[in-house]
Structure 1
Amino acid sequence: MNLESANTLGLLAGTLTTVAFVPQVVKIWKSKHARDISSGMFAIFSLGVLLWLFYGIQIEAWPVIFANALTLGLSLTILVFKIKYR
């Protein structure tokens, strides 16, 4: 697989795994509650995504950087909603 194909595959995978968080963010935002969301899980997940972002920056892999930056934003949004809608 060449670099262009690998980047396309990475962008597609990153897009799908990132977009998967959008329905949860929208649901919490509309319902104004996040009782069933685990703060611990999202905190650990956010830290992991942050580390993936740093990794992507280190190896200059734009699909990894792009996907993890967006996923981190969505994950942190869910954590903020969890705190805001106690």
Structure 2
Amino acid sequence: MINENILGIVAGTLTSLSMLPQLIKVIREKNVGELSWVMILILIIGLSLWVWYGFLNDELPIIFSNAFAVLVNVCLFICYFLYKNNADK
């Protein structure tokens, strides 16, 4: 039987890593023309609520994976506003 914490950590890690290729692409190309800042903001809020939930329930896999995802998406959100003028060209 798989340990619940290991399952949670693996699932959280994969979910959190899912946005890294998008962030890397945006940083390399300095182009955010295909991104929706509203979607990113809603995702950040939802992930932040998961972090809060994790703290309330003392669930480290939820806290760590979602906190990392918040960090990646905040970086993507910042890049959106840094590079949005490049999308208009």
Structure 2 counterpart of 1:77, from 61, 66, 75? 75
Aligned to 1:16: 14
Q: CA deviation at 1:21?
A: 0.9
After TM superposition, the runs of 4+ consecutive aligned structure 1 residues lying more than 3 A away are none
Q: CA deviation at 1:82?
A: 0.3
| CA distance in 2: counterparts of 1:21 and 1:10, whole angstroms | 18
Aligned length: 84
SS where residue 85 of structure 1 aligns?
helix
| CA distance in 2: counterparts of 1:52 and 1:30, whole angstroms | 30
SS where residue 31 of structure 2 aligns?
coil
Structure 2 counterpart of 1:25, from 23, 26, 29? 23
Residue 16 of structure 1 aligns with an amino acid whose one-letter code is L
Unpaired runs of 5+ residues, structure 1, are none
Unpaired runs of 5+ residues, structure 2, are 85-89
Percent identity between the two aligned chains:
32
